[in-house]
Structure 1
Amino acid sequence: MTAATTSPDTRNTFQSTIAGYTVGGRAHSLSAWFVLSLRLMMGWAFAYSGFTKIAAGGFDSGGYLTHSAATNGNPFASVFAWMGSTPWFVEFANVAVPWGELFIGLGLLVGALVRLAAFFGALMMLMFYFGNWSIEHGVINGDFAYMLVFLAVAAFGAGRILGLDQYIENYDLGGQTLVERYPRLEYVLG
């Protein structure tokens, strides 16, 4: 008589090793709904914010860049002052902020290019974190938390949950999926 061997159930598990440290866990089956809701929440917030800035017309980042960071003890106050006093950068920010918010939001809402959208969303939130620098209640604030939400959306491949990324990744190119043919697309899709 031989003993039956069973492999451990690896559904809903995740593990990662960085610098020799390994962490892992097992997600609840409802986790997909929570990840989807985070994606949709951030998508709506960013699309709405970008749309209202564009619809209002005349978005101007110069005053914010020049004055906000200088008044709050920001460790990067001189960088923000340079950005606010450099005409080409102000013009770039005047376009990049509202349109970036809109496109990041739309990408998250439809679940397309989610990792790329989440990366740029996290980058914007990092800039807002330092621009809105406030540590009287600790170094963690809403901007920092939203940055982590964007990173979680990217890490969990939220575009594959009722999103277009699941279809884009599996698009058939002569017997190979798009991601099989171009593996680096996994960095922007998902």
Structure 2
Amino acid sequence: MFIQFLKENRYVTLLLTVFRLYLGWQWLNAGWGKISSGKFDASGFINGAIKNMTGEHPAVQPWWGNFLKEVALPYVDLFNVIVPWGEFLVGLGLILGIFTSFSILMGLTMNFAYMLSGTTSTNPQMVLLGMLILMAGLNAGKIGLDRWFIPLLGKLIYKKERNEQFSQSA
């Protein structure tokens, strides 16, 4: 019932837009700060998270710490590019309201990655707001480019499927 309310209520659309713009600005600003400085290096963060997987009450679970040690750290140069650009593009998508569900899903993925790495900061509040946006689906992007783009995309996909069916039956 609550999810249906989020998906269909036109007044909730306004609240979701406020949440979307807030989260979009947070992501855009974080990403742009890293991109424009030209000095972003995730290796310090990753090494700190790896250190936090030991002790009596580790802040980082061993499975995540091992991922960071075995995958993220050896490919830190790749992460130094995808983290800031990912943050920036998530923010841009949310602000413009285009591919809103995908944008917030990627934002939530980053929020969880930061929390799994032992940081809290604003991530829990961003996760709560992001989950509302994700549950709302298309209603979260109605005041944005999704209003026009998603129906157009649906028509293009339907037309392509119909053409494929027609060519198979001929």
TM-score band, normalised by the shorter chain? 0.7 to 0.9
Separation in 2, partners of 1:31, 1:159:
8
Unaligned residue ranges in structure 2 (runs of 5+)? 162-170
2:102 aligned partner: 116
**Secondary structure in 2 aligned to 1:36?**
helix
1:67 aligned partner: 48
**How many residues align structurally?**
152
Asked if 1:80 is matched to 2:68, the reply is yes
TM-score (norm. length: structure 2):
0.75
Unaligned residue ranges in structure 1 (runs of 5+)? 1-12, 16-23, 135-140, 184-190
When residues 167 and 28 of structure 1 are mapped into structure 2, their CA distance, relative to the original with a 3 A threshold, is: closer
C-alpha contact 2:52 2:118 (8 A) present in aligned 1: no
Is the strand fraction higher in 1 or 2? 1
Equivalent position to 1:51, from 20, 32, 50: 32
TM-score (norm. length: structure 1):
0.68
When residues 151 and 179 of structure 1 are mapped into structure 2, their CA distance, relative to the original with a 3 A threshold, is: farther
2:23 aligned partner: 42
C-alpha contact 1:169 1:178 (8 A) present in aligned 2: no
Structure with bigger gyration radius: 1
1:170 aligned partner: 151
Deviation at 1:146, TM superposition (A): 1.6
C-alpha contact 1:70 1:81 (8 A) present in aligned 2: no
Separation in 2, partners of 1:143, 1:109:
18
2:77 aligned partner: 91
Deviations 1:117-143 (A, max 9, x none): 111111111100111256xxxxxx742
2:133 aligned partner: 153
Which of the pair has the greater relative contact order for Cα pairs under 8 Å at 6+ separation?
2
When residues 71 and 113 of structure 1 are mapped into structure 2, their CA distance, relative to the original with a 3 A threshold, is: same
Deviation at 1:85, TM superposition (A): 3.4
Deviation at 1:168, TM superposition (A): 0.7
Equivalent position to 1:132, from 77, 96, 118: 118
Separation in 1, partners of 2:160, 2:140:
18
Root mean square deviation, CA, Å: 2.8
Deviations 1:136-161 (A, max 9, x none): xxxxx742332232232122125532
